[in-house]
A and B are shown apart, each in its own frame.
Chain A
């Protein structure tokens, strides 16, 4: 839920990167931290990681600067993707203004993506925020790997609301900035 602090002349919005385990959510934030020019990005905070897996969340503040007298900040979060952290994902999704669903394009992860999307929808319903009312962008990640699922099939199963989608290779940065720009635009439109 966006916070419009008229007194302090600040606007804060929360964007969550959601998706199945190791789909590339943290990699998106790491690339953004590398690629976004310094005045705009804050410190990347990764909490309680075990190996390459997120146990709680990653956090990256992004400062858009002054817009007609108001400081605008995006707060970017990832969720832990592993199934056992469902309640942690509920916590991170609370108050969300926009979601990037990061799907793993590999064939053997296809079902995991479907399950993760279904869970996300259920969590949002429980939070009183039906998915169709939350700004959403899909990112089909790992497009550089061999034998990935074709985009039309991913769209058919993961994108019933015809949300904007981007092909990406988060490790190289391909599609990462574009995805954020797209969700940022939707969040601004819904303020």
Chain B
């Protein structure tokens, strides 16, 4: 993965590695699903039972949650909270901060033990952290994607998605 001034690029190779890591976490931890998010709440990858889950909204909420925790830490003069645990009657969520920039969240139920999930999540977080620290691999792929032609096509897609809204109504 690569952080640039205004974007993060995830290469196909990085994503394959992350996918394996998440799948292993779900399987070994007997969890429902696992998600890797960026700190804005965008889902990089998920694994496990996610078909019935609105992962887009879940990502936004988990990131908001962690953002709040960060501010609480600040008020308490704590550098950061590295993990959050939300316990429910049926479902629970354990979220771990990775590299101050990513969130690894695991959703699980009573089929497994909290301690096991925590332990495996820490291990997976460390593995993903190593991957994120490696040399960037996505820059060339990024340039190939976001070409001037791509931007024109994206503009058109935006207009179409908004039902053909015309910006000529701009006030001057």
Q: Do A and B bind each other?
A: yes
Q: A88 interface residue, CB < 8 Å from B? A: yes
Max chain B Cβ within 10 angstroms of own Cβ: one of A3, A40, A63: A3
Q: B131 interface residue, CB < 8 Å from A? A: no
A2 x B8 contact (CB < 8 A): yes
Main secondary structure of the interface of B (DSSP, over half): helix
A7 x B163 contact (CB < 8 A): no
- Closest B residue to A96 by beta carbon equals B40
- Chain A residues within 8 Å of B165, by CB: 177-178, 180-181
> What 1/0 mask marks residues of chain A from 22 to 62 whose CB sits below 8 Å from any chain B CB?
00000000000001110010110101000000001101011
* Cβ contact of B40, chosen from A43, A75, A166, A175, cutoff 8 A: A75
| Interface size counted on chain A using CB atoms at 8 A | 63
B170 x A164 contact (CB < 8 A): yes
Q: From B78-86, B122-130, B150-158, give the one contacting chain A.
A: B150-158
- Closest A residue to B4 by beta carbon equals A1
Q: A118 interface residue, CB < 8 Å from B? A: no
Q: Which of A129-158 contact B (CB under 8 A)?
A: 133, 140, 151
Measured in the bound complex, the distance between the Cα atoms of B40 and A169 in whole Å is 29
B41 x A68 contact (CB < 8 A): no
A4 x B39 contact (CB < 8 A): no
Cβ distance A153 to chain B, nearest Cβ, rounded Å: 13
Q: B149 interface residue, CB < 8 Å from A? A: yes
B162 x A94 contact (CB < 8 A): no
Interface, chain B (partner A; CB < 8 A) = 3, 6-16, 38-42, 44-45, 54, 56-57, 60-61, 64, 67-68, 70-71, 74, 138, 141-142, 145-146, 149-151, 153-155, 157-163, 165-167, 169-171
Interface, chain A (partner B; CB < 8 A) = 1-8, 11-12, 14, 35-37, 40, 42-43, 45, 47, 56-57, 59, 61-68, 70, 72-73, 75, 77, 87-88, 90-92, 94-97, 133, 140, 151, 164-167, 175, 177-178, 180-182, 184-185, 188-191
A1-B6, A8-B15, A40-B161 provided; 7 other pairs, C-beta below 8 A?
A1-B38, A70-B150, A75-B42, A91-B70, A177-B163, A188-B151, A191-B146
- A sample of 12 cross-chain residue pairs with beta-carbon separation below 8 angstroms, ordered by A number, consists of A6-B142, A6-B145, A7-B14, A7-B45, A68-B150, A77-B60, A91-B70, A165-B170, A178-B169, A181-B167, A188-B154, A191-B146
